[in-house]
Chain A
Amino acid sequence: MFFLQTVAPTGGVTSNEVFDRYPDLVSSIGTDMGAFLPELVLCLGIVWVIFVDLFSKRQDSRRPGWHALGVLGLSLLTLVLGGFPSAEEAGSLFHGMVVRDGFAVFMKLLLTIGTAICVPMVMSHKDLQGRRMGEFYGLLLGSLLGMYMMASARNLLMFFMGIEFASYTSYLLTGYLKGDRKAAEGGVKYVIYGSVASGIMVYGLSILYGLTGSLDVGAVAQALIVTKASPSLLIITALLCFAGFAYKISAFPLHFWAPDVYEGAPMPFTAFLSVVSKAAGFAILIRFVVAFGAPGADGQALTLASGKVLDLDWPQILAVLAMFTMTIGNLAALWQNNFKRLLAYSSIAHAGYLLMGVAAVVPRIGAEGDPGWQPVLFYLVVYLFMNLGAFYIAQIVAARTGTEELPGFAGLGKRAPVLAVGLFLFMISLIGLPPTGGFTGKWQLLKAAWENGLHTLVLVAVTNTVISVYYYARIIKLMFLDQGDGEGYVLPVGQRTAVVLMVVPILWLGLFMDSTVHLIRSLSFAVIG
């Protein structure tokens, strides 16, 4: 066997031994709980929302939604009050199960805001009226809790738990509209693809455990350097692990589930999947890549993430995956006629753009510049607003026209100018044109990739941008240049405000990105190992 040089895992451990090893086990849990407040709020919130639902009438399906919003607000508040831990404060909680650093807090903020935008969409979705919605919000909050774990996990077991927790709740939510054929199809496909991907990932994680006898990411990375594990084994292991992440971010080659699931799921949950779930996937992927790219104790840098393995360096492999992901996403999107499917492929393409930043996460030897995760975070912020905004407007339009197909958008510029201009701005931001955040965000990703010497990747990415114009511009064309039928309508103030609230960050980030970039640069990242 080619991985004989493994460290034998320690045998069974009795509970006494555990206490011997961690004398402060109980007391530290108490102190760590303070930093765990946002998660605790969510845990209680899940119960609370279901509880509220039990005591409300069936037709009163919005009520648990308001409570869910309250829970999210409370969680957001605890996150903000906790602040961003500085580099000195950054560390791990619960004996190395989760990390607490600026990166994790920022990601959690992002995930919470994204979920909070989805909740009103759920509340106003016409197919989700007059049902018992307590479980829906409970599952949604549960999914968010799983994603909190994904953003801060540092133990391989936590990696797996976080992903699975977020996934199982997502399977249920996808198929929430039980009678709907497409929803059922989407739900089943999601479960099958998800289970396969998780299975593959768990196999990869188990090899890591087998090689090193540890589940702590830092210890694993250290042990891999010390034991000088076989490069071919490492590359196979990493690819196996990557399966799990790729499925979460819908990257090539595990992107097949996305279009069907996106089409089948209720629109607000599609929005949630395409933005929040993807952001969490990127958080955990970055955590993984950085952990294994951290300099080792003996100064020998880089094992998995950027070492030259089999004459292939890791950033190059990620770059190739990024190229395939964005190209496949964009080419497939050209042929779509359903808005949700189109945005599904567009979100695959965007996973490719974001992977470009991940490929640059660990500066290659000799390269300097900002770590690639910073542009990824910036782009995720932009992506959150532009993609959720697009879905939000699509939901309003779909409710009016009764169809989620593209022709429903025809003549929107005349019928509802505010919606049309809003969607237009989100589209040009998705293309990546100034003066929107999509441009500055993509520019930063390109910059990071170029800085790391991934020149081919940059060329492929800009070519993809040109390809993507065709299908985004189709929507612009439908809205403004084509004649549509249907009455014009005046938007309620609430919807109008919501559109403006999502457009403003897009323009702000496009014109004045300085403060956000500074904030992201100041975030601490707990380097494990």
Chain B
Amino acid sequence: MLLTLVTFIPLITAFVVLAIPSEKKAAIKWTALIAAIVVFLLATKLIADYRGGGENATQVFDRQVTTLLEKVQDPGRRRLMEAGVAAIKLDFETRKASDERGPADYAAAVGLTLAENDPDHGTWRSVWELSMAQGAAAAKDIRFVEYAPWIDSFNIAYFMGADGLSLPLVWLTTLLGVLCLAYSWNIEKATKAYFALFLMLQTGIVGVFLALDFFLFYVFWEVVLLPMYFLIGFWGGPRRIYAAIKFFIYTLAGSVLMLVCMLAMYFHAGYDSFNVLTLMEVARGFSHDMQYWLFLGMFVAFAIKVPIFPFHTWLPDAHVQAPTAASVVLAGVLLKMGGYGFFRFSFPLCPDAAAGNIPLWGSFNFVHFLATLGVINIVYGAFCALAQKDFKSLVAYSSVSHMGFVMLGLAALTDAGVQGAALQMFNHGLSSAMMFLIVGVIYDRAHHRNLDKFGGIGTQMPYYTGIATLGFFASLGLPGLNGFISEALVFMGAWDSQAKSAGYPLDPKFVYWALPGIVLTATYILWTVQRVFMGPMKSETYKTFPDVNFREVFALAPLGILCVVFGVWPSLILDFMNSSLSTIVQVVAAVRS
């Protein structure tokens, strides 16, 4: 129930907000903010309760299989089904990767004959599906499970669950939800629609992280699209309409490929299942040829979202044009949907491709592919950032650069690398959100973002300068702040890949190639700090700028504090994610040939 609340309270509040007359702006803002705070508290409760145990997906499905079996009338048939379940469980221990077994195979193995129109046929299918799901390696970490039939005719379920991978991202989303709504207090243009759309957006994003039914996931994934389209298109900058439609078309182009992959998996060998855990189990048996195309299809879908070079061109446009709070959500959590997709779908569903067993082109396999693109992202993104005159597009390109680390860490496929990648997603969520807020603060005052025209802000706005510098240094990867930990872990993981990789060992050369990115990052960040805060004041108007107000501090301070906290105490979150992440590594290791 908790997950449903966290997901749908914002949506319900959105409708409540729409029902409030548009003149009552204060009521609208407070309703939205209070709902966001409630959701954030619920998400915090999820984090706190997660360790305490409670049933995990394995136990839940075990119980459900038992209930299903009890409903079977014919005792002989029930015994056969029980034998079938036992066979499935036995297979989990002994099964070779290349085996591929559907409900019909297991039925045949235990001598169970069921006609297509037999009512027990459906039961057996569900029994098979849930037995497979409970055996998936990831199932043991998934808690707060909610499972109910949704569209029975196509075997689509409302299946929500959270694990160490998704919960931090959910928490981050709800946190940014509170901060963004507070920061948006000064929105005067169509306030009602703005707050309603923002809440709808939050439902979509949280849903993406929590859905464990592929169909449901896809629905949430698409739900994110339209609110963001409107936020950019209506409240954005001068070229907002171009940026909005570009964002829309790019993302949709990726997601329809995901839809095709989804259909391919759904139909493969007649499993007809959208349960992600079940798919993870059967995926071990997917042929290399199939995994090749699945991985590529999903890659495009997620790569556009991350965004990975060369699919990144929508991002600078969208970020620069979007209103500040929308940029924060875009960089903070929307990009993570792509990264999350790699962790949750691409790797476990195409383990052979992820392990580098499948050549992409000649001797160039998917591990090379991801690592190369990751390195390009890091270096190319940093170069682009260096060249920007616009403050906001500099931050946008820094996102491209930072998300490259996620790819490199994933490609390394060592414990350290994958942890670094996941942590980088979380850390980038904090630091990029902070940087966009920082840009927003100065833009609200100066009404331009041209880096060459700033200067000397430091003396005029000392508090602002302090917070901003903290944010910039977190992004730069200064030791003691969060960015350092994740980037260091990624490099360690990539370096170690030769010895410890679960998949194809990555050449340490990739680390050399990525290293210039660090220097370039330091360059553009320090240079920006210098151009904005130091030196002579380039305009007299800057003397009138007030320092940060309460609204801005309220949005910025929590992020700054968290940057420090996770910088000095990273194990707080690493321990939390550890088990779920090592599962991914193990799944890939199991198929490595």
Seen from chain A, the residues whose Cβ lies within 8 Å of a Cβ on chain B are 368, 428, 433-435, 439-440, 443, 446-447, 450-451, 458-459, 462-463, 465-466, 469-470, 473, 477, 480-481, 512-514, 517-518, 521
Q: Report if B289 contacts A (CB, 8 A).
A: no
A512 to B263, CA, bound (A): 20
* Interface pair A433/B226, CB less than 8 Å apart: yes
Which B residues touch A481, using CB under 8 A?
A: 230, 233-234, 240-241, 244
Q: Report if B185 contacts A (CB, 8 A).
A: no
Question: Which chain B residue shows the least CB distance to A512?
Answer: B151
Question: Which chain B residue shows the least CB distance to A481?
Answer: B233
Closest Cβ of chain B: how far from A410's Cβ, in Å? Answer: 12
Which B residues touch A458, using CB under 8 A?
A: 260, 263
Name the one of B218, B244, B264 contacting A434, with C-beta atoms under 8 angstroms: B218
Closest Cβ of chain A: how far from B160's Cβ, in Å? Answer: 16
Closest Cβ of chain A: how far from B219's Cβ, in Å? Answer: 4
Which A residues touch B256, using CB under 8 A?
A: 462-463, 465-466
Question: Which chain B residue shows the least CB distance to A521?
Answer: B153
Which B residues touch A435, using CB under 8 A?
A: 219, 223
A433 to B248, CA, bound (A): 12
Name the one of B240, B257, B266 contacting A462, with C-beta atoms under 8 angstroms: B257
A459 to B253, CA, bound (A): 11
Closest Cβ of chain A: how far from B74's Cβ, in Å? Answer: 25
Which B residues touch A521, using CB under 8 A?
A: 153
A513 to B156, CA, bound (A): 11
State the 5 A-B residue pairs at the shortest beta-carbon distance, nearest first: A462-B256, A517-B153, A434-B219, A450-B263, A481-B233
Q: Which of B230-271 contact A (CB under 8 A)?
A: 230, 233-234, 240-241, 244-245, 248-249, 252-253, 256-257, 259-260, 263-264, 266-267, 270
Name the one of B152, B233, B241, B259 contacting A446, with C-beta atoms under 8 angstroms: B259
Q: Report if B507 contacts A (CB, 8 A).
A: no
Name the one of A433, A446, A447, A514 contacting B222, with C-beta atoms under 8 angstroms: A433
Closest Cβ of chain A: how far from B209's Cβ, in Å? Answer: 17
Given contacts A434-B218, A480-B233, whether A470 and B245 have CB atoms under 8 Å apart is yes
What are 19 A-B interface contacts by the 8 Å CB criterion? A428-B226, A433-B225, A433-B226, A434-B219, A435-B219, A439-B219, A440-B151, A446-B259, A447-B263, A447-B266, A450-B267, A458-B263, A465-B256, A466-B253, A473-B245, A473-B248, A481-B230, A514-B151, A517-B151
Given contacts A446-B259, A447-B263, A514-B152, whether A466 and B226 have CB atoms under 8 Å apart is no
Closest Cβ of chain B: how far from A451's Cβ, in Å? Answer: 6
A481 to B233, CA, bound (A): 6
Question: Which chain B residue shows the least CB distance to A515?
Answer: B153
Which B residues touch A469, using CB under 8 A?
A: 245, 248-249, 252
Given contacts A473-B245, A477-B245, whether A517 and B233 have CB atoms under 8 Å apart is no
* Interface pair B270/A477, CB less than 8 Å apart: no
Closest Cβ of chain A: how far from B498's Cβ, in Å? Answer: 39
Q: Report if B550 contacts A (CB, 8 A).
A: no
* Interface pair B222/A434, CB less than 8 Å apart: yes
Q: Report if B361 contacts A (CB, 8 A).
A: no
Given contacts A428-B226, A435-B223, A451-B267, whether A462 and B259 have CB atoms under 8 Å apart is yes
Which B residues touch A517, using CB under 8 A?
A: 151, 153-154
Closest Cβ of chain A: how far from B144's Cβ, in Å? Answer: 23
Which B residues touch A459, using CB under 8 A?
A: 260
A439 to B151, CA, bound (A): 14
* Of A433, A459, A521, most B-chain CB atoms within 10 Å: A433
Which A residues touch B219, using CB under 8 A?
A: 434-435, 439
Starting from the known contacts A433-B225, A459-B260, A480-B234, 18 additional A-B residue pairs (CB-CB under 8 Å) come to: A368-B270, A433-B222, A433-B226, A434-B222, A434-B223, A447-B154, A447-B263, A450-B263, A462-B256, A462-B260, A463-B256, A469-B249, A470-B249, A473-B245, A512-B151, A514-B150, A514-B153, A521-B153
**Would you call the interface of chain A mostly helix, strand, loop, or mixed?**
helix
Contact with A along B91-127 (1 / 0, CB 8 A): 0000000000000000000000000000000000000
A243 to B260, CA, bound (A): 31
Seen from chain B, the residues whose Cβ lies within 8 Å of a Cβ on chain A are 150-154, 218-219, 222-223, 225-226, 229-230, 233-234, 240-241, 244-245, 248-249, 252-253, 256-257, 259-260, 263-264, 266-267, 270
Which B residues touch A446, using CB under 8 A?
A: 259-260, 263
A513 to B150, CA, bound (A): 9
Closest Cβ of chain A: how far from B480's Cβ, in Å? Answer: 44
A480 to B244, CA, bound (A): 13
* Of A446, A451, A470, A477, most B-chain CB atoms within 10 Å: A477
Closest Cβ of chain B: how far from A258's Cβ, in Å? Answer: 26
Which A residues touch B257, using CB under 8 A?
A: 462
Compute the total of residue contacts between A and B using a CB distance below 8 Å: 76
Question: Which chain B residue shows the least CB distance to A482?
Answer: B241
A470 to B257, CA, bound (A): 18
Closest Cβ of chain B: how far from A445's Cβ, in Å? Answer: 11
Which B residues touch A477, using CB under 8 A?
A: 233, 241, 244-245
Given contacts A434-B218, A450-B263, A480-B234, whether A518 and B153 have CB atoms under 8 Å apart is yes
A75 to B564, CA, bound (A): 73
A339 to B53, CA, bound (A): 58
* Of A446, A465, A466, A521, most B-chain CB atoms within 10 Å: A466
A469 to B251, CA, bound (A): 11
Name the one of B244, B249, B253, B264 contacting A450, with C-beta atoms under 8 angstroms: B264
A285 to B182, CA, bound (A): 58
Question: Which chain A residue shows the least CB distance to B230?
Answer: A480
A133 to B48, CA, bound (A): 71
Which A residues touch B270, using CB under 8 A?
A: 368
Closest Cβ of chain A: how far from B196's Cβ, in Å? Answer: 12
Closest Cβ of chain A: how far from B176's Cβ, in Å? Answer: 24
Name the one of A462, A466, A513 contacting B151, with C-beta atoms under 8 angstroms: A513
Question: Which chain B residue shows the least CB distance to A513?
Answer: B151
Closest Cβ of chain A: how far from B468's Cβ, in Å? Answer: 32
Question: Which chain B residue shows the least CB distance to A466?
Answer: B253
Name the one of A440, A450, A465, A514 contacting B252, with C-beta atoms under 8 angstroms: A465
Name the one of B223, B233, B249 contacting A466, with C-beta atoms under 8 angstroms: B249
A440 to B156, CA, bound (A): 12
Question: Which chain A residue shows the least CB distance to B250?
Answer: A466
A446 to B153, CA, bound (A): 16
A359 to B482, CA, bound (A): 55
Closest Cβ of chain B: how far from A478's Cβ, in Å? Answer: 10
A473 to B225, CA, bound (A): 12
A397 to B153, CA, bound (A): 39
A450 to B154, CA, bound (A): 15
A459 to B222, CA, bound (A): 18
Closest Cβ of chain A: how far from B225's Cβ, in Å? Answer: 7
Question: Which chain A residue shows the least CB distance to B232?
Answer: A481
Closest Cβ of chain A: how far from B12's Cβ, in Å? Answer: 15
Which A residues touch B241, using CB under 8 A?
A: 477, 481
A229 to B259, CA, bound (A): 42
Which A residues touch B233, using CB under 8 A?
A: 477, 480-481
A463 to B263, CA, bound (A): 15
Closest Cβ of chain B: how far from A479's Cβ, in Å? Answer: 11
Which B residues touch A473, using CB under 8 A?
A: 229, 245, 248
A463 to B253, CA, bound (A): 7
Question: Which chain A residue shows the least CB distance to B254?
Answer: A466
Which A residues touch B259, using CB under 8 A?
A: 443, 446, 462
Which B residues touch A447, using CB under 8 A?
A: 154, 263, 266-267
Which A residues touch B267, using CB under 8 A?
A: 447, 450-451
A517 to B152, CA, bound (A): 10
Closest Cβ of chain B: how far from A368's Cβ, in Å? Answer: 7
Question: Which chain A residue shows the least CB distance to B297?
Answer: A459
Which A residues touch B263, using CB under 8 A?
A: 446-447, 450, 458
A433 to B224, CA, bound (A): 11
A491 to B289, CA, bound (A): 57
Which B residues touch A368, using CB under 8 A?
A: 270
Which B residues touch A465, using CB under 8 A?
A: 252, 256
Which A residues touch B150, using CB under 8 A?
A: 514
Closest Cβ of chain A: how far from B151's Cβ, in Å? Answer: 5
